[in-house]
Amino acid sequence: PCSNLYFYEGVPQDWGTHWLEAPITTIWRNVHGASLACIMPAWMEVVIKHRRNSIPQFCKFAVNCMGAK
């Protein structure tokens, strides 16, 4: 199963992407997931740059939620 726990296992949760996503969805009337898909790659780069220990969690998410091999 896919959940936010793959990102935040053992670390404090950060819902920053949702704070960024909400105005985008409202202004451009996008679907919630589409707006998150636009924001998430840049957010991931910032998180990895500042919190290198998050890389295994992103890998786990990629395998379990995105079907990466």
pTM of the model: 0.64
Overall average pLDDT of the 44-67 stretch: 89
pLDDT, tens digit, 9 for 90 and up, residues 20-41: 888 888 999 989 889 988 898 8
- One DSSP character per residue, 30-67 reads --HHHHHHHHHHHHHHHHHHH-GGGHHHHHHHHHHHH-
pLDDT at residue 45, as a whole number: 92
pLDDT at residue 18, as a whole number: 82
